[in-house]
Each structure stands twice: as structure tokens, then as C-alpha cells.
């Protein structure tokens, strides 16, 4: 059906390559490119599919990307490198008139700021060029946004209160590790909290608001209100929302490590001089922390991520909870990666499939909730991330 170029050979890239290789009628040709080609080669060798080509590319450099795209001529580029590369890859897609998909919004390197404004600014140029950009197609953002669209389409006349609840009930056996790129992860969880209420953003101190929530098959976990990027697009695309919040579970041990890391300055993103060389503390920290890609083998337990929604149906208030649970061991057995990479890589694969099948193909820049959620929801059940719905239950929030 189509040719795909995957950029980024980390934990998520590993899952995307595995999943795409398992769908040969959809992804007829696959190229995996990243900064370090040997990582792409190792992934391709492990999958053992001769159709996977590999290449080296510095995705910070538009001319390098344009050259690679022009030589391989993919129908779509799937960006699972880092959020810093979003704009250069979008520029290269514009120049070569190629569709684009990512899982995380652009972030400037020198400022931990999560906003869609930089990528939404490409709307007119993508429209005029007649190409599609699909933004935020991982799990959160991604599946959580599609869950919301599905609820609004099928179960409510108006949605009023949305709480996205993200629990990693797994244990990797390390004193401290992050589940995806440490630099991006620590930048995300140490920022101030923020949620949408009555048409405006309410800011909180980091981890100021928290409460225990019960997660299916996991149990009660302390959950912390943090800002998460899909809140911005969901507040815009679902104007009936009176409130939208995001909750993530953290263990005490994790929070203690995080506090120490911050207190001693290791979470800093400003360069400092060390023995005559400029280093960025958080990038140095990443180099000494466990590689998230290596956590899979001994990872036990599961993730549970979903949306708890209150709204109106046929004049009556109703509640709705839709979620997926994913076992780390199942993810590892299938792809060699842990659950957090798996729950991100599978939706990215399905998003690219939606594009190639012509179901999500429209000129312009779109967040995933703007497309029809139905075919995507159907594929989640088929591709390893089945979901469960509960109606009129206590949402605890």
C-alpha cells in the first residue's frame, strides 16, 4: 500500500519498526533512519525482515532530511526522534511534499515549553502544498485524544469534564529510571501543573494537587495533576469542555529522586562549563541513567491509561470511562521494548496506516482528535492495545 520513513531508533522507533514489519500489505517498504545508523541496523537485524532499509540522518538538518526523503520517496514520514526535531522534519516534508506524523509536540531546546503554536503555524503551508500533518499520535497525546473524540461522537451530546488518567503500575527493578527519553521525561514532570477550567488555564505549583485514584487491575495509586500537551488541543477542539485535567501516578521513591535531582541542579537545561567544556546538566544526567530501551526484560506489571468523562446525553448527566491496560512483559515478548514504548509505537503505526488507507488524509495540520476515531479504535483492538468501556461508574473525580 505505501512506503514509510521512520526517523528515530529509540524505544518507540523499535516498536514502530516491529509493528510496521508485521503489516506487510500496509507498509510495503520501510526505511528506519536515525542519528546513529548502527542502532537502526541492530533493530532491523533483530526483526529479521529484509524489507527494512536503514540510513543515517541528522534530523536537525533540513538539507540532509530532504536528500534522504528524495532518495527513498516515502509516502509518509513517521517522526519518533525527539520533539526538538519536529520543525526541521516538517520543513523537509513541506519541501518534498510528503505527509508527516509525530507523537510529541515541538519543544525548543533552551526552554521546557509545551505548546502547539509552532506546529499549528504550518497549517496554511501544509494546506497549500496539499499534504497532511498528523500531530500527537502516541498514547498520550494520541489514544487519549482519540478516546475523547470517540466518547464525544458516540456517547455524549456534550462533554463537560475530562480527566485523563495515566498510571504506570510497573516495576523495572531500578532505583531510578525514566520510561522514555530521560531529558524529555524530566522536563515534562518537573514543570508547573496546569489545567483548563471555565475558558482559561489555571496554573499550580509542580505536583501541588494530588489524590489517590483506583486503576483497573492495578489498584489505588497516588495521582498528581500535571500539564500535558493534549489538553491544549482538546480544549480548542471540544469547546463544550468546562474542565480538562491530566493525572499521572508517581511513586514516593521516584519523587524523592526527582526532588534531589532538581535540588542539586542536575535537571538544568542551561549549559554550564565543566573542565573547559560546555555541558547541559540534564543531558549529562541522561548519559548516566539507565537507557529506557533496556528496561524491558525485567519489567513487570502494567500500564493503565484512559479518559474519565462526565457530560450530557439525552438531557441527562452521565459518566464514562474508557481505558487500555498494557502489560510490560507482553510488550517485551512481542517487540523487545517495554510497555511505555509499546503504547506509543503502536498508535504511531496505526496513524500511519490510517493515512495510507486514505482514512486520515486531508491537506493541513491536524491533531488526531480532528479525524474520525472509529477506524483507529477498531485497529487498537487488533494491534495489541484493546480498550474497555464503563458507563455510569464512579469516576472518583
Distance in Å, CB of 52 to ligand NDP, minimum: 15
Distance in Å, CB of 295 to ligand NDP, minimum: 11
- 163 C-beta neighbours (distance < 10 Å), count: 22
Does residue 170 belong to the site contacting ligand NDP (CB under 6 A)? no
Distance in Å, CB of 341 to ligand NDP, minimum: 6
Distance in Å, CB of 10 to ligand NDP, minimum: 2
Does residue 296 belong to the site contacting ligand NDP (CB under 6 A)? no
Which of 24, 36, 110, 300 touches ligand NDP by CB under 6 A?
36
Does residue 293 belong to the site contacting ligand NDP (CB under 6 A)? yes
Residues 327 to 346: which contact ligand NDP by CB under 6 A? 340-341, 344
101, 110, 182, 259 from 104: Cα distances, Å: 10, 17, 14, 25
Which of 2, 22, 35, 210 touches ligand NDP by CB under 6 A?
35
Does residue 64 belong to the site contacting ligand NDP (CB under 6 A)? no
Question: In terms of CB distance, is 83 or 193 closer to ligand NDP?
Answer: 83
Does residue 380 belong to the site contacting ligand NDP (CB under 6 A)? no
Distance in Å, CB of 279 to ligand NDP, minimum: 16
Residues 88 to 107: which contact ligand NDP by CB under 6 A? 103-104
Does residue 8 belong to the site contacting ligand NDP (CB under 6 A)? yes
- 344 C-beta neighbours (distance < 10 Å), count: 28
d(CA 201, CA 178): 28
Which of 4, 5, 6, 9 touches ligand NDP by CB under 6 A?
9
Count the residues of the shown chain that bind ligand NDP, applying the rule CB under 6 A.
34
Does residue 74 belong to the site contacting ligand NDP (CB under 6 A)? no
Residues 112 to 151: which contact ligand NDP by CB under 6 A? 138-142
Give the residue at shortest CB distance from ligand NDP: 10
Distance in Å, CB of 192 to ligand NDP, minimum: 19
- The answer to whether 81 and 59 have CB atoms below 8 angstroms apart is yes
Distance in Å, CB of 372 to ligand NDP, minimum: 20
Does residue 37 belong to the site contacting ligand NDP (CB under 6 A)? no
Which of 60, 91, 372, 396 touches ligand NDP by CB under 6 A?
60
Question: In terms of CB distance, is 5 or 80 closer to ligand NDP?
Answer: 80
Does residue 326 belong to the site contacting ligand NDP (CB under 6 A)? no
Which of 21, 32, 74, 85 touches ligand NDP by CB under 6 A?
85
**3-state helix/strand/coil string of the chain:** CEEEEEECCCHHHHHHHHHHHCCCCCEEEEEEEECCHHHHHHHHHHHCCCCEEEEECCCCCHHHHHHHHHHHCCCEEEECCCHHHHHHHHHHHHHHCCEEEECCCCCCCCCCCCCCHHHHCCHHHHHHHCCEEEECCECCCEHHHHHHHHHHHHCCCEEEEEEEEEEECCECCCCCCCCCCHHHHHHHHHCCEEEEECCEEEEECCCCCEEEEEECCCEEEEEEECCCCHHHHHHHHCCCCCEEEEEEECCHHHHHHHHHHHHCCCCCCCCEEECCEEECHHHHHHHHCCCHHHCHHHCECEEEEEEEEEEEECCEEEEEEEEEEEEHHHHHHHHCCCHHHHHHHHHHHHHHHHHHCCCCCCCEEEEHHHCCHHHHHHHHHHCCCCCEEEECCCCCC
Distance in Å, CB of 144 to ligand NDP, minimum: 8
Does residue 226 belong to the site contacting ligand NDP (CB under 6 A)? no
Does residue 351 belong to the site contacting ligand NDP (CB under 6 A)? no
- 5 C-beta neighbours (distance < 10 Å), count: 26
Distance in Å, CB of 359 to ligand NDP, minimum: 20
Q: Could you tell me which residues are beta bridge partners of residue 79? A: 7, 102
> Using CB under 6 A as the criterion, which residues of the chain lie in contact with ligand NDP when the complex forms?
8-13, 34-36, 39, 57-60, 80-83, 85, 103-104, 138-142, 180-181, 184, 292-293, 340-341, 344
Amino acid at each position: 500500500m505505501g512506503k514509510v520513513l521512520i526517523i528515530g531508533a529509540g524505544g518507540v522507533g523499535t516498536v514502530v519498526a516491529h509493528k510496521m514489519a508485521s503489516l506487510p500489505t500496509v507498509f510495503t517498504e520501510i526505511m528506519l533512519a536515525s542519528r546513529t545508523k548502527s542502532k537502526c541496523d541492530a533493530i532491523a537485524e533483530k526483526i529479521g525482515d529484509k524489507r527494512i532499509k536503514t540510513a543515517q540522518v541528522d534530523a536537525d538538518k533540513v538539507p540532509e532530511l530532504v536528500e534522504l526523503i528524495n532518495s527513498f520517496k516515502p509516502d509518509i514520514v513517521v517522526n519518533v526522534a525527539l520533539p526538538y526535531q519536529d520543525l526541521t522534519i516538517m520543513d523537509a516534508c513541506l519541501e518534498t511534499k510528503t505527509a508527516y506524523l509525530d507523537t510529541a509536540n515541538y519543544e525548543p531546546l533552551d526552554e521546557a515549553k509545551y505548546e502547539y503554536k509552532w506546529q499549528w503555524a504550518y497549517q496554511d503551508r501544509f494546506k497549500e502544498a496539499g499534504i497532511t500533518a498528523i500531530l500527537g499520535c502516541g498514547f498520550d497525546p494520541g489514544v487519549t485524544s482519540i478516546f475523547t473524540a470517540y466518547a464525544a461522537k458516540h456517547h455524549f451530546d456534550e462533554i463537560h469534564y475530562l480527566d485523563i488518567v495515566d498510571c504506570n503500575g510497573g516495576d523495572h527493578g531500578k532505583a531510578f529510571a525514566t520510561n522514555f527519553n530521560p531529558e524529555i521525561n524530566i522536563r515534562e514532570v518537573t514543570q508547573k501543573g496546569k489545567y483548563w477550567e471555565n475558558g482559561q488555564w489555571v496554573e499550580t505549583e509542580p505536583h501541588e494537587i494530588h489524590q489517590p485514584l483506583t486503576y483497573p487491575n492495578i489498584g489505588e495509586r497516588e495521582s498528581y495533576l500535571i500539564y500535558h500537551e493534549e489538553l491544549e488541543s482538546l480544549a480548542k477542539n471540544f469547546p463544550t469542555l468546562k474542565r480538562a485535567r491530566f493525572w499521572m501516578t508517581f511513586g514516593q521513591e521516584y519523587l524523592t529522586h526527582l526532588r534531589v535531582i532538581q535540588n542539586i541542579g542536575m535537571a538544568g537545561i542551561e549549559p554550564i562549563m565543566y573542565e573547559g567544556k560546555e555541558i547541559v546538566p540534564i543531558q549529562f544526567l541522561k548519559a548516566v541513567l539507565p537507557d529506557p530501551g533496556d528496561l524491558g526484560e525485567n519489567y513487570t506489571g502494567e500500564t493503565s491509561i484512559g479518559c474519565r468523562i462526565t457530560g450530557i446525553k439525552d438531557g441527562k448527566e452521565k459518566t464514562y470511562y474508557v481505558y487500555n491496560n498494557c502489560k510490560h512483559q507482553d510488550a517485551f515478548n512481542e517487540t523487545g521494548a517495554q510497555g511505555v514504548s509499546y503504547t506509543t509505537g503502536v498508535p504511531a503505526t496505526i496513524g500511519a496506516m490510517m493515512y495510507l488507507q486514505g482514512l486520515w488524509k486531508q491537506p493541513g495540520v491536524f491533531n488526531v482528535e480532528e479525524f474520525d476515531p472509529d477506524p483507529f479504535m477498531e485497529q487498537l483492538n487488533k494491534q495489541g492495545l484493546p480498550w474497555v468501556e464503563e458507563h455510569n461508574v464512579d469516576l472518583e473525580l
